[in-house]
Structure 1
Amino acid sequence: MSLLQGKVVCITGASRGIGRACAIESAKQGANCLILHFFGDAETQAEVDTLKNEIEANYSARVVAVPGDIADAATSRNIVDESVKTFGRIDVLVSNVGICPFSEFLSMPHSTWERTRQVNLDGSFYVVQTVANQMKVQTPQGGSIIGISSISALVGGELQCHYAPTKAGVQSLMQSVAVALGKYNIRANAVLPGTIETDINKEDLSDRVKREYMVKRTALGRLGAPDDIAGPVVFLASDLAKYVTGASLLVDGGALANFQ
């Protein structure tokens, strides 16, 4: 069974990590059109080009890549305009893009706080609002919005006093958006990953002691991989979750449950 057969799926921050895994799994599950957003520098351009080629070569999907800084509201407008021009609609949004420049709280530059908030929270608001307006007017009306939050929305981290509040904001945004948009048949849910090995935490996890500690925190005895998040995202995007909205799905290998 293809869970996303014929769906138009939009993923922000799709060039690597969780976003990339979500794009590949969406294509595997029958999504025939993908809009992949990426930050518009040469490195991420090359990564998303490789992803586009991989998907189009192996799955029956058309791919459009849209560059831009998600912290700029114009980028969200460009994403939606390109999708409607090329595919006519958007059925699924995965608001995934995020940054976490680890930083001590007392010495954190205000610019670090501002940039993290702009990308993680402001960017999520812009793209969710813009896509939701498209989902409201298309025929048939509706769609599924998934915000990638974090376990950090629920618990603190010494070097995440800027990141954690933004991810709590994403979780809260999905809850309120679910209430606001249910009348338009638009569902909104949050996925809260635990420690997933991506570029965002590569340097932090290079500390062997820290890495071993994080592994032992999990009930499953391993850190997560990006495709561990892609499956739950596809579920929430699919009709299997047609009565699921305003929910928060923790995907952390049992780390939060492990008090010991």
Structure 2
Amino acid sequence: MLLEDKVVLITGASRGIGRATALEAARQGANVAINTYRDAKAAAEVVAEIEALGRRAVAIDGDVALPDSATGFVSAAVEAFGRVDVFVSNAGICPFHAFLDMPVETLRRTMEVNLHGAYFMTQAAANQMVKQGEGGAIVAISSISALVGGEMQTHYTPTKAGVHSLMQSCAVALGRHGIRCNSVLPGTIATDINKDDLADPAKREYMEGRIPLGRLGRPEDIASVVAFLASDMASYMSGAALLVDGGAFANFQ
């Protein structure tokens, strides 16, 4: 029960890593507020699963790219649970596209959701934690893509490098308030964001072959690391980045 009686907020939590993190937080004893965007059915299912675990949950719809969504999400969570102890910035998109003819709108939307959204949401959660005066933990889902390039990800990889950098700077800015800020860098995790890319059996086999542990990651592999960083077990970790990739980054040769 690493997060017993904590209040955990998670963006993009109706599917994938966000969903797995919400459920893990509940298993670890937390009450959970999830942000979702135009995905009410899936969000309701996550809420029901959390409640089945004996914890409380609420779902709030909002586009993370809009500053008002951040303040609205935090306000709704405080109204429901009275406080914010942990914030997890997870919402992100990756519409694969070539570099030379990248549509301006695809670039702009990816930047706004992945980086601006992380900024606005982190800022809103941090302000609530400072107001409470009891510290807190912020964890952002970056990516192995913050460290390596991708032919079809020239719009995506800079946002994930930015998310990691944001956590480093926030660790410095918020440390005086007892707020820890860390990032998690997942490798290739089988989620909705890359299911089309991995639908090609040859591509999937190639990706699995690059991973020393011999398999793609599961959302639960990331959720457990987030729970650790959010807990008091990581009480002296701030500004850190944990790579969770099955050894893929190390496998250069």
Question: What TM-score range do you get, normalising by the shorter chain?
Answer: over 0.9
Pairwise CA distance, 1:102: 0.1
1:205 matched to which residue of 2? 198
Query: Within 1, Cα distance between the matches of 2:49 and 2:176?
Result: 37
Candidates 61, 71, 75, aligned match of 2:65: 71
Pairwise CA distance, 1:86: 1.6
Q: Are 2:45 and 1:50 aligned?
A: yes
**1:145 match: secondary structure:** strand
Alignment of 1:154-169 (within 5 A): 154-169=147-162
Pairwise CA distance, 1:259: 1.0
Pairwise CA distance, 1:54: 1.3
1:218 matched to which residue of 2? 211
Query: Within 2, Cα distance between the matches of 1:214 and 1:100?
Result: 17
Alignment of 1:79-158 (within 5 A): 79-139=73-133, 141-158=134-151
Query: Within 1, Cα distance between the matches of 2:42 and 2:96?
Result: 24
1:35 matched to which residue of 2? 33
Displaced runs of 4+ in structure 1, greater than 3 A? Answer: none
Worse overlay, 226-235 or 130-139: 130-139
Pairwise CA distance, 1:197: 0.2
Query: Within 2, Cα distance between the matches of 1:251 and 1:23?
Result: 18
Unaligned runs of 5+ in 1: none
* Letter aligned with residue 247 of structure 2: G
Unaligned runs of 5+ in 2: none
**1:27 match: secondary structure:** helix
Candidates 159, 174, 177, aligned match of 2:170: 177
Query: Within 2, Cα distance between the matches of 1:234 and 1:127?
Result: 19
- What does the per-residue CA deviation read over 1:94-137, in whole Å, with 9 as the maximum and x for residues that have no partner? 10000000000001101100000000000000000010000001
* Letter aligned with residue 88 of structure 1: G
Query: Within 2, Cα distance between the matches of 1:61 and 1:77?
Result: 24
Query: Within 1, Cα distance between the matches of 2:128 and 2:20?
Result: 25
**2:63 match: secondary structure:** coil
Pairwise CA distance, 1:60: 2.3
**2:198 match: secondary structure:** helix
Pairwise CA distance, 1:208: 1.6
Pairwise CA distance, 1:88: 1.3
**1:76 match: secondary structure:** helix
**2:32 match: secondary structure:** strand
Query: Within 1, Cα distance between the matches of 2:140 and 2:49?
Result: 25
TM-score of the pair, normalised by structure 2: 0.99
Candidates 230, 235, 251, aligned match of 1:237: 230
RMSD value, Cα: 0.7
- What does the per-residue CA deviation read over 1:3-36, in whole Å, with 9 as the maximum and x for residues that have no partner? 00010000000000000000010000111x2110
1:11 matched to which residue of 2? 10
Instruction: Give me the identity figure in percent.
Output: 59
* Letter aligned with residue 21 of structure 2: C
* Letter aligned with residue 34 of structure 2: L
TM-score of the pair, normalised by structure 1: 0.96
Query: Within 2, Cα distance between the matches of 1:103 and 1:222?
Result: 25
